[in-house]
């Protein structure tokens, strides 16, 4: 049962030193109770406090680090719905290489996984790990696994029930922080291998009860690097199972279910694969393993993931700055927009597509779009002019031409007064009209 802020406060030193960032120990205790802080932030917490609060304040869904240097993390979630707070760990996307894939397909998938890169609103996404399955050809499985690790340095999700093969291959990719897939029948032996090589485990079972009992057993033994694979037979069952299990972990504190999920997707139908992958991203998936490399599908999934795993209380934004588009010189125009990421990347992209080089001035607008920032008083003539003066933008150009967004044309007169010597032009309302504006007005 979770402790209240008052109960936690009794375990704190009571010094009100403020070194944790809170004004009082009680305020810090309230943050701990709401899981908005960690006990490690208190430099004077006693051993008893660490012992008592360690488990009480851990996230209801445990974090499971894996990969080289444990650089990838799944889990660590505290809410069922992102608007309650935020989702923390984006669903990890992996690519599956099957035993029946011939060497040509194997090489194509491996190279695709290594080279794939997708950029959106300033963030770059990639395939984080590779899954490899085997039932018969164990020598090929060992060779392929070793090749994946040596060439890509990505962790491997190993799906093979032959323990001797798993022991050999685990030694060859030691340090990869990979994941071993197992069932309840061979789980104990797999855990021994995982402990030896610092791997994680993804367990499954024929029934949900068997999976629950094994997860409970491993947790009681202190093995926490677990992923859960639930046996489901349909999309609706998948949706229901993920929802029920995550709700049990977060709302009811059922700790054996408080681990991230791993799901292999293989229906053989692109539409069904897409719907299943989307369902996992929307409904608490920790890792999804795609059966084929499809860059269009990956772009869609990464875009969806970006939307779901951003803090709804904190807009995506770029740093306020002066950005060079192309190769601007002293004759180049100066554009201005807000620091909402989507606005910035659309505007900068359209300026670049227009064939002109320019400076793009981006003042602090708290990540709001143009009209929202203007309505909130964050994108005003005084603030724009102040930022331009503070950054000495006028020193960069001889012909001082400032282009403002068409939606805030009413600022042009005020800006002209605030910036003597500058010519203020009203740009297009829609960034897609940037090319015609540049050709006709500049």
Does residue 133 sit within a domain?
Answer: yes
Does residue 69 sit within a domain?
Answer: yes
**Residue 146 near residue 169 (C-beta atoms within 8 A):** yes
Same domain, 47 and 73: no
CA pair distance 168, 385, nearest whole angstrom? 66
* Residue 283 binned pLDDT confidence (cut-offs 50, 70, 90): very high
Maximum distance among all Cα pairs of the chain, rounded to whole angstroms: 79
* Residue 1 binned pLDDT confidence (cut-offs 50, 70, 90): very low
The last residue of a domain, from among 245, 273, 308: 308
Same domain, 98 and 247: yes
Same domain, 222 and 370: no
Does residue 203 sit within a domain?
Answer: yes
Same domain, 295 and 235: yes
Closest CA to 9 of 19, 24, 44: 24
The last residue of a domain, from among 267, 284, 308: 308
Residue 423 CB partners (closer than 8 Å, separation 6+): 399, 400, 401, 402
CA pair distance 351, 325, nearest whole angstrom? 7
Q: How many domains does the chain have?
A: 3
Same domain, 32 and 81: no
What does the pLDDT look like over 327-370, one tens digit per residue?
A: 999 999 999 999 998 899 999 999 999 999 999 999 999 989 99
Mean pLDDT check: name the lowest of 9-18, 306-315, 356-365, 370-379. 306-315
Same domain, 345 and 272: no
What does the pLDDT look like over 117-157, one tens digit per residue?
A: 998 877 899 999 999 999 899 999 999 999 999 999 999 99
The last residue of a domain, from among 308, 332, 364: 308
pLDDT of res. 55: 65
Hey, how many other C-beta atoms are within 10 angstroms of the C-beta on 196?
12
pLDDT of res. 120: 81
Same domain, 44 and 90: no
pLDDT of res. 41: 83
pLDDT of res. 380: 95
Question: Mean of the pLDDT values across residues 60-77?
Answer: 93
Same domain, 201 and 102: yes
Does residue 28 sit within a domain?
Answer: yes
* Phi, psi (deg, nearest 5) at residue 366: 60, 30
Does residue 244 sit within a domain?
Answer: yes
| % residues pLDDT > 90 (the chain) | 74
Same domain, 87 and 232: yes
How many Å from the N-terminal Cα to the C-terminal Cα in the chain? 66
Same domain, 268 and 364: no
Structural domain range at position 137: 64-308
Does residue 316 sit within a domain?
Answer: no
Does residue 313 sit within a domain?
Answer: no
Same domain, 50 and 156: no
Same domain, 99 and 203: yes
* Phi, psi (deg, nearest 5) at residue 260: -70, 160
Please give the angle made by the CA atoms of 380, 384 and 390, to the nearest 5 degrees.
145
Does residue 314 sit within a domain?
Answer: no
Please give the angle made by the CA atoms of 359, 362 and 367, to the nearest 5 degrees.
150
CA dihedral 324, 330, 331, 336 (to 10 degrees): 40
């Amino acid at each position: 049962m979770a402790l209240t802020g008052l109960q936690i406060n009794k375990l704190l030193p009571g010094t009100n030193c403020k070194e944790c960032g809170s004004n009082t120990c009680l305020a810090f205790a309230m943050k701990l109770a709401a899981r908005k802080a960690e006990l490690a932030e208190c430099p004077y917490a006693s051993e008893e406090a660490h012992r008592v609060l360690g488990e009480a304040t851990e996230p209801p869904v445990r974090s499971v680090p894996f990969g080289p240097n444990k650089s990838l993390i799944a889990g660590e979630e505290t809410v069922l719905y992102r608007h309650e707070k935020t989702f923390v760990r984006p669903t990890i996307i992996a690519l599956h290489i099957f035993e029946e894939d011939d060497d040509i397909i194997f090489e194509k998938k491996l190279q695709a996984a290594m080279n794939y890169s997708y950029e959106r609103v300033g963030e770059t996404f990639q395939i984080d790990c590779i899954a490899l399955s085997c039932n018969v050809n164990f020598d090929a499985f060992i060779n392929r696994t070793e090749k994946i690790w040596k060439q890509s340095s990505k962790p491997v999700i190993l799906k093979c029930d032959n323990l001797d093969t798993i022991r050999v291959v685990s030694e060859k990719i030691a340090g990869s922080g990979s994941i071993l897939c197992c069932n309840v029948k061979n789980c104990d032996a797999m855990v021994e291998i995982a402990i030896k090589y610092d791997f994680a485990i993804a367990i499954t079972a024929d029934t949900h009860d068997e999976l629950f009992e094994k997860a409970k057993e491993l947790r009681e033994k202190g093995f926490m690097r677990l992923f859960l694979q639930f046996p489901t037979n349909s999309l609706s069952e998948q949706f229901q199972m993920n929802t029920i299990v995550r709700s049990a972990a977060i709302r009811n504190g059922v700790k054996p279910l408080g681990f991230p999920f791993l799901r292999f997707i293989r229906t053989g139908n692109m539409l069904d694969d897409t719907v299943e992958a989307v369902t996992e991203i929307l409904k608490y998936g920790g890792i999804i393993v795609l059966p084929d490399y499809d860059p269009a599908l990956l772009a869609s999934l990464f875009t969806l993931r970006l939307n779901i795993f951003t803090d709804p209380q904190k807009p995506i934004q770029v740093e306020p700055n002066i950005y060079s588009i192309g190769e601007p010189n002293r004759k180049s125009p100066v554009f201005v927009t807000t620091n909402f990421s989507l606005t910035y990347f659309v505007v900068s992209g359209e300026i670049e597509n227009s064939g002109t080089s320019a400076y793009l001035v981006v003042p602090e607008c708290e990540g709001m779009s143009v009209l929202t920032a203007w309505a909130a008083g964050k994108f005003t003539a005084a603030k724009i002019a102040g930022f331009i003066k503070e950054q000495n933008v006028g020193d960069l150009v001889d012909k001082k031409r400032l282009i403002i967004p068409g939606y805030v044309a009413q600022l042009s007169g005020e800006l002209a007064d605030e910036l003597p010597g500058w010519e203020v032009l009203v740009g297009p309302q829609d960034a897609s009209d940037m090319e015609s504006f540049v050709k006709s007005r500049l």
